Amino acid sequence: MLLKKLKNKIHSEIPLTAFMNIDIKSCDKFHLLTTAPLSMNINDKGTGFAGSLSTITTISGWGLCWLLTQEMGFKNTSIVILKSDIRFTKPVTLDIDCLTKIPSSQDIEVLKNKLIKKGSGSLIIKSSISEDKNTCVSFEGVYVIKLI
């Protein structure tokens, strides 16, 4: 239910994600999986457009922060990315599968305590896009979450 709500939220509030056809596929205790078709996110070389790859990794991290805060019971939050680092090591030639790693339970608990005590906190989120077990894109972002 939350995944569908997240997809609707990003598509209505960030129209680019609808144009890119980003989908929120699944979330387990290890990863959030977001996808997008290569055909909507292609460059002049026939591979994944770097801007699209950057967008899906950034949005996936944002979406994971939103899911975590929803699960914690914080319904009204402002989530922004403070800084990020992205590396493009191989071309993306297939439909895009972005795996966003769930932070450790300790990091999640620290965030929850900061939100309760200070009304804000941050998380480091890592995402990757791979093909045939080879990493094509590596992303790390620092997200700041504030209660509103």
**43 falls in which pLDDT band (50, 70, 90)?**
very high
User: Is there a contact between 76 and 147 (Cβ–Cβ < 8 Å)?
Assistant: yes
Contacts of 135 (CB under 8 A, 6+ apart): 89, 90, 128, 129
Q: pTM, whole model, 2 decimals?
A: 0.97
Calculate mean pLDDT across residues 136-148. 98
Q: What is the pLDDT of residue 1?
A: 87
| Structure tokens that stand for 38 in this block | 């290569």
- Please tell me the distance from the alpha carbon of residue 58 to that of residue 88, in angstroms, as a whole number: 14
Question: Tens of pLDDT along 52-106?
Answer: 999 999 999 999 999 999 999 999 999 999 999 999 999 999 999 999 999 999 9
User: Is there a contact between 94 and 131 (Cβ–Cβ < 8 Å)?
Assistant: yes
Q: Which domains does the chain have, with CATH numbers?
A: 2-147 (3.10.129.10)
